Structure 1
């Protein structure tokens, strides 16, 4: 991929837990997002999806590895330099619009804030841009005088979208942006996100547990399991012809119950990841090699990369004939969502 907007190389992210326990949230994650591209990021709770989003925007400094944004290595940047290179050119849409908007600020002040901080335009120009932003997301500019509590959940999320786009960013990280909305409002917000991208050409890192939604919006999809990318490639290929057993399990969730692949047990704790392939304790086709040798991402020849010693062996068709996955050999603590 030439000139990606974002590139993560070998990112590791470790957090110190209670009693000196270290939680490895990300374990050697590498990915890139092209200009105008949407990369969908899927995986179970506790897999590290939100951690990737926040590390990409340098809300977290990675423990190891590097983050490149528009050709700049921002891994160790801070202060004004980070603000000039990254903050003005990136934004985030949060999951819960009820908590991501300041309840003490009127909507116009909320939208004006990034413009004011980055000294973008005169007060009159900023007021004009605020009105235009509200109108573009389907809200009456007169609503700028209201407070967040006076809006519905869908309206608040539209304000969140408008705020993210006030500085015309090159990259938007959307972290479960429709999870707190009902189905009808979700569709409206999703269509808005797609329309805005088509107009402005920015890139999305789209994080969601809703597989159908991710497939609809994304050009490519990365599948994350316990802090590791296990498969990445074109959206249709990843879910129509999954090559990793975990991807097969996710893709089967939209099938009748008799055709679903349900991994055994629960996702292990990032404080005690299994050796070898992290998925092997739950995998229906795991063998001895899987428990001792960690697979690395390898190209499959069709634009995908898969980290599996037996990639492509468990398909949506063959999965129907597989026995249920065995339980883990030793009880492991249940993972909790890190962020």
Structure 2
């Protein structure tokens, strides 16, 4: 019998089924004064074709840096980035554009700043096709009209400017721009953070529909726990630049193994049952010794302060799905209302209007 793949939660996949793989990726920034900020410390992740991997953690945990490094918006300090079988860690120029830029895209958090306010929407959407010299001018215009229709705005919006749109409409355009080159991977960095709840629902449903149509893979970065539980097949939890737990979405929310994951999952409970870590997230320029969470962890012991736990791969005893966690005492911090959590299934997101 084959062993399930610990990164994807599925049976072992062939190289053709893996869209993105990060292997021990490190990202260190040098800031004013010469100090080093260890934003990402040895992150390894794999995303299969058609899968949504959620990436969660507090602000400052490094999740946005992981997304930008994966797409080579930042050059990794060390480690390996493999995209559709090609090592893209250090490639430059034409090879970078042809292999990675052509087949991946990013949806940014704030569409007000990610869209060029001096360009009409049609020009914004056509620009990737122009850069990569795809199709004739007539074919490019046709594709712009088709994508505007697909995102629910209509081809007549091609003549409008970003400031003429609502926040939800601008984010739809951001998604449309990401789709123009027919990518296999989209990194969505807090794509609904600046939108109200009803508009968030529409954007998430649009992303899910497009994924079903095109077999897209998503790296979905967010701090919204209900949302990440709703949209993700698997979730990776980051704390101070490291992955501390990875697993199937429901497994992480119902049977968290790492105390930090348990604290995040408890936010869905009543206020009196929530597990609130003490203190603030430590500075990535001066991380604690041992387990980075030990200073805030309610079950920390001397070993936690001296020895950094490695990510251990195992199988969830209930679901049978692969799990991985980095904790000396996994599963000891249980949720106060386990039965409540296990029977809480996120309801489908409702759409309140045809377009936003």
TM-score range, shorter-chain basis?
over 0.9
Q: Tell me how far apart the structure 2 counterparts of residues 170 and 193 of structure 1 sit (CA, whole Å).
A: 13
Q: By how many angstroms is 1:299 displaced?
A: 1.7
Q: 1:315 aligns with which of 334, 348, 352?
A: 334
Q: 1:104-158: per-residue Cα shift (whole Å, max 9, x none)? A: 1000000000011111100000110000000000001101000001111111000
Q: By how many angstroms is 1:240 displaced?
A: 1.2
* Correspondence for 1:128: 142
* Correspondence for 2:188: 174
Q: 1:62 aligns with which of 63, 72, 76?
A: 76
What is the TM-score of this pair, normalised by structure 1? 0.93
* Correspondence for 1:243: 257
* Correspondence for 1:337: none
Q: 1:250-301: per-residue Cα shift (whole Å, max 9, x none)? A: 0001111110000010000000000000000000000000001000111232
* Correspondence for 1:165: 179
* Correspondence for 2:7: none
Q: By how many angstroms is 1:317 displaced?
A: 2.9
* Correspondence for 1:272: 286
SS of equivalent to 2:38:
strand
Alignment check: 8 A CA contact 2:22 2:45 kept = yes
* Correspondence for 1:51: 65
Q: 1:204-237: per-residue Cα shift (whole Å, max 9, x none)? A: 0000000110111100000000000000010110
SS of equivalent to 2:39:
strand
Q: 1:286-338: per-residue Cα shift (whole Å, max 9, x none)? A: 0000001000111232210000000111110389xxxxxxxxxxxxxxxxxxx
Runs of 4+ in structure 1 deviating by more than 3 angstroms, as ranges, are none
Q: 1:141-188: per-residue Cα shift (whole Å, max 9, x none)? A: 101000001111111000000000011101000000000011111110
Q: Tell me how far apart the structure 2 counterparts of residues 108 and 185 of structure 1 sit (CA, whole Å).
A: 23
Q: Tell me how far apart the structure 2 counterparts of residues 69 and 37 of structure 1 sit (CA, whole Å).
A: 14
* Correspondence for 2:216: 202
- Aligned pair count reads 319
SS of equivalent to 2:26:
strand
Q: Tell me how far apart the structure 1 counterparts of residues 278 and 243 of structure 2 sit (CA, whole Å).
A: 20
Structure 1 residues without counterparts, runs of 5 or longer: 320-339
Q: How does 1:33-112 map to 2 (within 5 A)?
A: 33-112=47-126
What is the TM-score of this pair, normalised by structure 2? 0.89
Q: Tell me how far apart the structure 2 counterparts of residues 273 and 17 of structure 1 sit (CA, whole Å).
A: 16
Q: Quick one: structure 1 residues 318 and 185, their matched pair in 2 at CA, closer, same or farther if it must change by over 3 Å?
A: closer
Q: Tell me how far apart the structure 1 counterparts of residues 315 and 47 of structure 2 sit (CA, whole Å).
A: 20
Q: Tell me how far apart the structure 2 counterparts of residues 240 and 121 of structure 1 sit (CA, whole Å).
A: 49
Q: Tell me how far apart the structure 2 counterparts of residues 33 and 299 of structure 1 sit (CA, whole Å).
A: 16
Alignment check: 8 A CA contact 2:108 2:174 kept = yes
